[in-house]
Chains A and B, each alone.
Chain A
Amino acid sequence: MSPSLLPEGFARGHQILLLAGSVSRIEDTRTLLAREEAILSLVEAVLASGARIAVPADPDLALLVATAALSYSALPSAEPGLVAEPAGISIYETQGENTGLRRMLVPLGRLNALRYYDEAGESVRLDQYEMLHAVDDAPRETWIPQRLTNGLLERVNPLAAVVVAPDAAIVEEIGLVSRRNFPFAVLPGTGDDLIGQRYSEGNAFNRLAGFIRDEPTTPFPWPALLQELVTGWLSGNRQDQRM
């Protein structure tokens, strides 16, 4: 469907930061499915609008969002000198080089699904790495998530942030986000809701949590909710930004 209801190109250059707690702390299928659906719906809402998603180098999250971004990637150009714009996923290392993750993402990089940055903020060409066929020889830290830092927040300068599946391991990261002057949403029903409730200013948690109270037995309409949230942020609607 085109053109967009919002002015063409309005979202270009805007980045939404995505953080996610670990799958390993989730103990029921419903929450697990909600976590996954929320992440996919956010990727679809943001990339369909033309904006970008930034994630720290958390291997599980990075692989999922980069795979989802394939739906929005352009075919690499066959003509020399012509470079297709990569889909709107940017993955940032914050705690040193993760060679295993870089090698794992090579095939997605070749399909223009993502951009990858090292800790210093330099763009990394993934096609310089050999594709990972097995992780036997990869260091153990390959699958340990790298964390959000103040330095990354400075570099990314996101328009807004979304936290999926809040848990104790990412409380500090949520704290970093909440102290910044941009809107954010800790998504309820995807992790430990007690953590989401701790933050009020700038957090869309309470409005979204209304759905749990109103419809306690049904899954959240994540595609609609996140498109509403993202559109509000991108169009500069302060009402939607600060709920």
Chain B
Amino acid sequence: MRRDVSLLWVSTPCEVVEEILELSLMTGHDRRLFISYAHSDGHVVAEQLFAEMNKHRFDVFLDRFRTPPGTDFVERIEDELIDKSMVVVVETPKSVASAWVRHEVATARRLRLGLAAINDGSVAGFTGVGSPRRYQYAGSFSPSNAAEFVIQRHREAIVHRRLTLLQSIQREFSSGAPSATIDVHGDGCRVELADAPLRSLELGLAIRPATIDLTRRTDDRSRSRPATPVVIHARPGSPRRRADLDWLMAKGNIVQVDIGKLREFARRAKAGTL
């Protein structure tokens, strides 16, 4: 049975970061890790990391079955990464020369996933990864040290990205009338507006495209404590996925807000014109 816990902050969402992190890591959705590598020169490291991350209770997906890029390969990359929380790329001469892997790194960044690279020093890595996210080793590969590095980057990315979005919500609702009370929980927050036409909003927050699971939980919460259900998320890149989500939200009478229209949403909510 899923726990439904609410957390209240006084002045800034930072006060509840650790609790949010613990709650989110319990859901399992944030423990799905994707290892991107080129089979011909990266499989040994990838498989050792796979075994080590499994020991740390991550669901690990190895990119074993890659087929040659076709016209739809960008959509296929989104399909393989959209339900993951972290991508680890094994940087080898073959992988850094692969357009597929380069697009995987770009997609991981666009979906705001955690990102880390494992590099043995024999090749310059992907530009967009950056040295703070690169585990560089010389000589023998230590899966346990690499796993420790990956877990640290994973936590930092999740906390940073969620806080960024929560801070944005707080900024938009805490300025101007009507005044708002924000109650944070694992999936997002509940906003109570004083003396406003729409008094209660149940916000499901996703830093990447919303899942069906988040949508359902937001809807459940809005029914158990009456509120207008809202899902704020980054829209999927695939038109097919966008159409699916549009249909789902419309069926559930859930307000869907693109993360790029957060400010407009807050203004409309305060004015009662969602």
A residues neighboring B (CB under 8 Å): 1, 4-5, 22-24, 26-30, 32-33, 36-37, 40-41, 43-49, 59-60, 63-64, 67-68, 70-75, 104, 107-108, 110-111, 131-136, 143, 215, 217-225, 227-228, 231
Chain B residues with CB below 8 A from A228, complex form: 263
Q: Is the CB of A222 within 8 A of B168?
A: yes
Q: Is the CB of A48 within 8 A of B260?
A: yes
Chain B residues 92 to 132 lying within 8 A of chain A, measured CB to CB, are 96-100, 102-103, 106-107, 109-110, 112, 127-132
In the complex, which of the residues B109, B167, B264 contacts A218, with contact meaning CB atoms closer than 8 Å?
Answer: B167
15 A-B pairs besides A70-B238, A104-B99, A219-B164 with CB distance below 8 A are A1-B264, A1-B274, A4-B264, A37-B112, A37-B161, A63-B128, A67-B109, A73-B239, A108-B74, A132-B99, A135-B96, A135-B97, A219-B167, A220-B167, A231-B263
Q: Output the nearest chain B residue to A222 by Cβ-Cβ distance.
A: B164
The stretch among B188-196, B217-225, B251-259 that forms the contact with chain A is B251-259
Q: Is the CB of B236 within 8 A of A71?
A: yes
C-alpha gap A22/B127 in the complex (Å): 8
Chain B residues 227 to 274 lying within 8 A of chain A, measured CB to CB, are 234-239, 242, 255-265, 267-268, 274
Chain B residues with CB below 8 A from A32, complex form: 130, 132-133
Q: Is the CB of B259 within 8 A of A67?
A: no
Give the distance to chain A from B173, nearest Cβ to Cβ, in Å.
10
Q: Is the CB of B97 within 8 A of A134?
A: yes
C-alpha gap A151/B262 in the complex (Å): 35
Q: Output the nearest chain B residue to A68 by Cβ-Cβ distance.
A: B110
In the complex, which of the residues A4, A23, A217 contacts B128, with contact meaning CB atoms closer than 8 Å?
Answer: A23
Q: Is the CB of A27 within 8 A of B14?
A: no
Chain A residues with CB below 8 A from B59, complex form: none
Q: Is the CB of B69 within 8 A of A107?
A: yes
Q: Is the CB of A44 within 8 A of B234?
A: yes
Chain A residues with CB below 8 A from B168, complex form: 221-225
- For this complex, into which size category does the number of interface residues on chain B fall? 35 or more
In the complex, which of the residues A1, A73, A220 contacts B164, with contact meaning CB atoms closer than 8 Å?
Answer: A220
Q: Is B55 an interface residue (CB 8 A)?
A: no
- A1, A41, A224, A231: which has the most chain B beta carbons within 10 Å? A224
Chain A, interface SS category: helix
C-alpha gap A225/B164 in the complex (Å): 11
C-alpha gap A212/B273 in the complex (Å): 33
Q: Is the CB of B237 within 8 A of A1?
A: no
C-alpha gap A92/B71 in the complex (Å): 24
Q: Is the CB of A67 within 8 A of B165?
A: no
The 4 A-B pairs at the shortest CB distance, nearest first, are namely A48-B260, A70-B237, A44-B260, A221-B167
Q: Is the CB of A24 within 8 A of B99?
A: no
Q: Is the CB of A67 within 8 A of B153?
A: no
Q: Is the CB of B132 within 8 A of A26?
A: yes
Chain A residues with CB below 8 A from B261, complex form: 1, 48, 227
Q: Is the CB of A5 within 8 A of B258?
A: no
Give the distance to chain B from A222, nearest Cβ to Cβ, in Å.
6
In the complex, which of the residues A37, A44, A133, A219 contacts B69, with contact meaning CB atoms closer than 8 Å?
Answer: A133
In the complex, which of the residues B71, B128, B256 contacts A1, with contact meaning CB atoms closer than 8 Å?
Answer: B256
In the complex, which of the residues B68, B110, B237, B267 contacts A5, with contact meaning CB atoms closer than 8 Å?
Answer: B267
Give the distance to chain B from A76, nearest Cβ to Cβ, in Å.
10
Q: Is B64 an interface residue (CB 8 A)?
A: no
Q: Is the CB of A219 within 8 A of B260?
A: no
Q: Is the CB of A224 within 8 A of B99?
A: no
Q: Is the CB of A29 within 8 A of B164?
A: no
Q: Is the CB of B128 within 8 A of A64?
A: yes
Q: Is the CB of A110 within 8 A of B103?
A: no
Q: Output the nearest chain B residue to A34 by Cβ-Cβ distance.
A: B160
Q: Is the CB of B68 within 8 A of A40?
A: no
- A1, A33, A45, A220: which has the most chain B beta carbons within 10 Å? A33
C-alpha gap A223/B268 in the complex (Å): 17
Give the distance to chain A from B195, nearest Cβ to Cβ, in Å.
21
Q: Is the CB of B161 within 8 A of A33?
A: yes
Q: Is the CB of B263 within 8 A of A111?
A: no
C-alpha gap A104/B100 in the complex (Å): 10
Chain B residues with CB below 8 A from A22, complex form: 127
Chain B residues with CB below 8 A from A37, complex form: 112, 160-161, 164
